[in-house]
Amino acid sequence: MLRRSSSVAHAVLLFAAVALPLAAAQPWPVCGTSGTYTAGSTYETNLDNLAFSLSTNASSSPTLFASGTVGSAPNTVYGLLLCRGDVNPSDCADCGTLVVQDVAQVCNRTKDKILVYNQCYAQFSDKRDFLAATNNSGVYSLLISGTNITSTDVAGYDRAVTELLNATVRYAVENSTRLFATGQRVGTDPGFSKIYSMAQCSPDLSPGQCRSCLDGLVGRWWDTFPLNGRGARVAGPRCYLRSELGSFYTGSPMVRLPNNSGSKILVIILPTVSVAIIIAVISLCIWNVRKKTRLAKEEYLSENDATEDFESVKSTLLSLASLQVATDNFHESKKIGEGGFGAVYKGILNGQEVAVKRMTKGSNQGLEELKNELVLVAKLHHRNLVRLVGFCLDEGERLLIYEYMPNKSLDTFLFEQRRQLDWAIRFKIIEGIARGLQYLHEDSQKKIVHRDMKASNILLDADMNPKIGDFGLARLFGQDQTRDVTSRIAGTFGYMSPEYVLRGQYSTKSDVFSFGILVIEIVMGRRRNNGPELNDEDILSIVWRHWEEGAIAEMIDHSLGRNYSETEVVKCVNIGLLCVQQNPVDRPTMADVMILLNSDITCTLPALAPRPAYLIDGTSGYSQTVWRHWEEGTVTEIIDHSLGRNYLEAEVVKCVKIGLLCVQQNPIERPTMADVMVLHNSETTCSLPAPAPRPTYLSMEALVTPKP
């Protein structure tokens, strides 16, 4: 009664007046020819386990869909299970149970097999092609109702079916999160007064992929099925299309095409309860977004932006099955890196090398960063920015897929393989980073502050061209917005600007500061604050000292030898120091940086401001002030004036001393909190240990008082 084919060939499913109900013939299997397995074999065990897993996962999934893989070669089994979009989870579970029962019984242990039921579709194979495909390529199922229509207007019937199928497809793609729709057409011809339809895609497809798959089925419908057949369906792993003269789905049709004096009017039917639920959900979402925006403005996009962002990224949605195939089910051998939020895998997707960033499953860590990165990177298109290929949010997974960068990140070459980075490549990298940042700040659709510029976030392609990646902490700015303030300091110490570290202020000039650090690191071949001891001299201090002494050549990466352009090196050092000036106003824009990089001589560069206060052991800043008064024995001069003289001097001195003990540079010298309680409850300050000398890190605290 059924035929498997990817061609026009088909068989007829006959119904007589006394025939059993359609369910009695289930399942309708389609058996492949790729090979067989033996009873009790590892393959059969894997097949049974996968069928059970898919049944459980599909019935518990909001999309009633599951795909997966069990076992390793040569006994790997790939499979998927999709329940009809109008059934409830209980019916889906029942159909899944039938799959579990039948999977080993049908097809005489053929490895490739399709099981078609009225309420679900399952497919298994030892090959993964059908999971990675975006259409019903290869083997799929064709079912045909064997009787013919009674009407003589076959052409009119064919037009009516085609119109209904197209309308149903359009609704499934444009209005359903499940990529599912049912339809009905009411006509005047008694031979086909009512036609019913259904369209569905596996929800791991994007709407565009679903539309392409279903449109292909509609386009070949009458080449595949009899022109006067009462009903037919195509059941495949990626999309499913059906039409009948009798109702076969539950509930009211989502699409209704009435025959009103020949006019074609599309009516969308939504049950009252569904409307109420949708309105309630939308209202709740709007309220929630507004509340969060009010409480933490810098952490969220505006509601209009969020809608626009979703529209811009939904076409890049990829299936989990395709990514499992691309990465050999995230095999350890495919792992190329690991970070704070998860691992990165190399894969092959549609013949293209990709990097799959997989967030730790079941953890909320990094969720905001993923959403932020997704909506931002989808908008960005520049040769010096890493390109987003797609994303996947199936079955609890959170995956971002990028173009693969074969030379990994800049820090690998800069700090581990320095001899492979000659000066020409370094200068090209500096220019490329500057070009990418200029695009983010000035040339993209919206002004974007990256907030985490560092060597490990600069990726290198096969030709050593730099591309900025990791936009998890990036923020959108309005066109007239110059800065923002956050209470959540996030980024990488050493690259963060002083005003951001101390006051939470960030702007495009924060990225400029980070770029300046990168330039210095590229020239010196050393990571900032990466010496063997905590009190090693900061590389910025080293650069400033050599700059002031006119001895730049002494601090250039020794691996370069003398193989560099001294003019370019001096220019880059000058630009780097301009970028790390204390006052953000004194730092150049990235457009300025590009002009400076392309200038022929260094004398056109603006003069540097004096060495920033944060690189000097000065006396400004409250921590410096406290230490100075402690050393001078004048602690009472720094006490809050609003207290007047209404305090116990011994307690104040004790608290100041405890505070200074707690902020000592060497962690070993700081007390535990148990020690603090003992000290706090002691009656005299003389029993407290003396603080070590003033910490050298207090040179940073001078930044609390900004440059006038």
In sequence order, which residues have a C-beta less than 8 Å from that of residue 559 and are 6 or more positions away? 418, 419, 421, 525
| Angle, helices 566-579/590-597, rounded to nearest 10 degrees | 170
Q: Which of 3.30.420.340, 3.30.230.10, 1.10.510.10, 3.40.50.300 would CATH assign to domain 410-615?
A: 1.10.510.10
User: What is the separation of C-alpha 408 from the centre of its chain, rounded to a whole number of angstroms?
Assistant: 19
pLDDT the model gives residue 374? 72
Q: Which of 3.40.50.2300, 1.20.1440.60, 1.10.10.10, 3.30.430.20 would CATH assign to domain 3-143?
A: 3.30.430.20
User: What is the separation of C-alpha 696 from the centre of its chain, rounded to a whole number of angstroms?
Assistant: 40
The segments of the chain whose pLDDT lies below 50 read: 1-24, 260-280, 287, 290-308, 310-311, 530-535, 617-621, 698-708
- Distance CA(208)–CA(215), nearest Å, equals 10
In DSSP terms, 346 is beta-bridged to 355
452 is catalytic: yes
pLDDT the model gives residue 77? 94
Is 447 annotated to bind ligand? Answer: no
Cα first-last separation, the chain: 87
Instruction: Give me the residue spans of the domains in the chain.
Output: 3-143, 145-269, 327-403, 410-615, 622-704
- Distance CA(272)–CA(364), nearest Å, equals 35
pLDDT the model gives residue 537? 66
CA distances from 268 to 259, 265, 278 (A): 15, 10, 15
- Distance CA(172)–CA(206), nearest Å, equals 12
pLDDT the model gives residue 602? 53
Q: What's the alpha-carbon Rg for the chain, to the nearest Å?
A: 34
pLDDT the model gives residue 24? 44
CA distances from 358 to 31, 38, 329, 349, 366 (A): 35, 36, 12, 15, 11
Q: Would you say 144 and 129 are in contact if contact means Cβ atoms under 8 Å apart?
A: no
**Per residue in 141-161, pLDDT tens?**
788 776 788 888 888 888 899
Model confidence, pTM: 0.49
Catalytic residue among 102, 112, 328, 452: 452
Domain 145-269: assigned CATH number: 3.30.430.20
In DSSP terms, 506 is beta-bridged to 484
pLDDT the model gives residue 652? 84
- Distance CA(547)–CA(543), nearest Å, equals 6
The second-level CATH assignment, the architecture, of 327-403 is: 2-Layer Sandwich (3.30)
> At 33, which amino acid appears?
T
Q: Would you say 125 and 51 are in contact if contact means Cβ atoms under 8 Å apart?
A: no
Q: Is residue 367 within a helix (H) or strand (E), and if so which, with residue range? A: helix 367-377
Domains 3-143 and 410-615 share a fold: no
Q: Of 444, 323, 342, 308, which is closest to residue 385 (Cα–Cα)? A: 444
Q: Of 291, 285, 473, which is closest to residue 368 (Cα–Cα)? A: 473
**Per residue in 195-214, pLDDT tens?**
999 999 999 888 889 988 99
